[in-house]
Amino acid sequence: MADHLKFYINGEWVDPLGSETIEVINPSDESVIGSISAGTKEDIDVAVAAAKEAFKSFGFSSKEERIALLENIISEYEKRSDELAKTISEEMGAPLWLSNVAQVTSGLSHFKDTLEVLKTFKFEKTENDYLVRKEPIGVIGMITPWNWPMNQMCTKVASAIASGCTMVLKPSEITPFCGIMFAEILHAAKVPAGVFNLVNGMGPIAGAALSEHQDIDMMHFTGSTRAGVAVAIASAPTVKRVAQELGGKSANIILDDADIEKAAGAGANHCFMNTGQSCNAPTRMLVSSKNYDKAVEAATQVANSTVVGAPEDEGVKIGPISNKVQYEKVQRLIQIGIDEGARLVAGGLGRPDGISEGYFVKPTVFADVTNDMTIAREEIFGPVLSILKYESEEEAIEIANDTEYGLAGYVQSGDEDHAKEVARRIRAGQISINKGSRGPAAPFGGFKTSGNGREHGLSGLSECLETKAILGN
C-alpha cells in the first residue's frame, strides 16, 4: 500500500487542512504499510458544510432515484471485492478466506438487503384524518471500528442513502484504506457530491468534532462502550440523535438436551472467529455441572487444533490481533485470568509456537470460571473463551443476564421450542439458537451498555428517519 493523505469531500479528493499524519501498521509483521492524514476540527467543518448543502437536494430525492443509486453502488462494490478483501487482510489481519467470505460480503449484503427494504417502504401514509410522513433526519456523522470495517461502514451508509440523508464518515485510523477504497466505490457509483464525505483521523479530535458539531443531526457510532459514552456526552448539548452499537460479553447457554460436544466445539470456534474481535462473540460458555467436563474437553480440542498464522497462509483459521494496544490488552487479561484462579486448559500468554513477530495470540480457554472474575465480566476482544458452570436453567439465565452488556446471546438445545423459551428470558438485542446465522437484515443492537438503536434492513432505515404529522384536509 501507499500513503493516502487526501480526504473525500464534496465529490472530490482534497488536501487536509492540517499537517499531522498517522502510520498504518500491518499486524502480521508490525511493518508500516502506509500513512493517512489526521483530520482536524476544521476538516470536519468543511465536510459537514458539504453534507449540509447536499442535503438540500438529496433530502428530497425520490425513492426511485435512491433505488437506482443503491443498485449502482452494489455493481461498483462487486467489481472491487477481491481488492477490498486483500486490503482488509493486510491492514487488520483477517485471514484472506475470512475477508472474502465474511468481511467483504457482509458489507455487500447490507446494501442488497437495504435495497429490497427500500423498494417496498412507504414514506407517507394516512392515519385517521392526518398524514404521517417519514423524512430523512438530515446530516449523519458516522464513526466506525476496525474489527469489521466494511460491515459497519456499509450498514450505516446504505441506511443513510436509502433514507435520503447525507453523511460524514470517520473510519477507524487502524483500517483506513478499505474506507478510502469504499469512497472510490461510491464516487464511481455517482453518489451526488456532498452526500458522502470521508475524513480520516483520531477519535478524540476528528470524532469529537463530529459529535459536537451543531450541524450534525445524528451520530451513528460503533465501538467500545467507553468511546460510546464520550460520543453521547459530546452530542448531548446539541440534542442530536445518537445510535450506538457498543461492547458485549455474550453468554452461550448449552442446555442439557443439546449435543454437548458438538455445541461446545461450535461455540469455541465461533468465539475464536475473526481472532475473537467481534462484539457479539460468545465468550462466556455456560454448561451444567453434569456435562461440564465434556464441554471443556471439546472446547480445548478446538483451541489446540486452531491454526494461527499470517492472513495469506494456507490453512490459517485465525490471524493476528489488529493492533498493538489491543494485543497488550488481551495479554493483560489472560494474565488476570490466571492470577484470579481460573484454570487455563488451552493457550495462554505470548505468541503461538513458531511465531516471533506480529500481534498473534494463542487461542485460549479458561475453565472453572466464575461470573465475578474479570475475564467473565470485561470484554476481552480476543480469542479467549471462559467456561462457567451452572446447576439449573434458572441459574444459567441468571448468570447470562448478570452483566452490564446486552448485545447478543446464544442458546444450544435439542428442542427448538425449549431454546426459544430460554432465549426470551435473556436480556440482549439478538439471540441465536443452535448456531443460527445472523441474518444481515435482522435488527442488530444492544440492551444496557451495549448501546441503543438498531441497524440492518428495515430497522436501520427507520433509525435514519424522523416522523412528521401533517394535520387537516
Question: Considering 245, 379, 455, 463, which one is annotated as catalytic?
Answer: 245
Q: In whole angstroms, give the CA distance from residue 37 to residue 355.
A: 32
Radius of gyration of the chain (CA): 22
Q: How far is CA 258 from CA 62, 265, 280, 424, in A?
A: 50, 12, 21, 18
Task: Record the cell numbers describing residue 375, joined without a space.
Answer: 475475564
Question: Considering 279, 379, 455, 464, which one is annotated as catalytic?
Answer: 279
Cα-Cα-Cα-Cα torsion 306, 85, 357, 383, nearest 10 degrees, comes to -40
Residue 450 gets which letter from DSSP?
G
Q: Is 393 a catalytic residue?
A: no
Cα-Cα-Cα-Cα torsion 98, 100, 103, 108, nearest 10 degrees, comes to -150
Residue closest to 326 by CA, chosen among 368, 277, 386, 378: 277
Q: Is 312 a catalytic residue?
A: no
How many Cα atoms are found within 13 Å in the side-chain-facing hemisphere of 471? 0
> Cα–chain-centroid distance for residue 317?
20
* DSSP H or E run through 53: helix 41-58
Burial 228-237 (b: 16+ CB within 10 A, else e): bebbbebbee
Task: Record the cell numbers describing residue 365, joined without a space.
Answer: 480457554
Angle at 306 between CA 304 and CA 311, to 5 degrees: 145
Q: How far is CA 459 from CA 110, 167, 439, in A?
A: 12, 18, 13
Locate cell 467483504: which residue? 104
Which residue numbers are catalytic?
245, 279
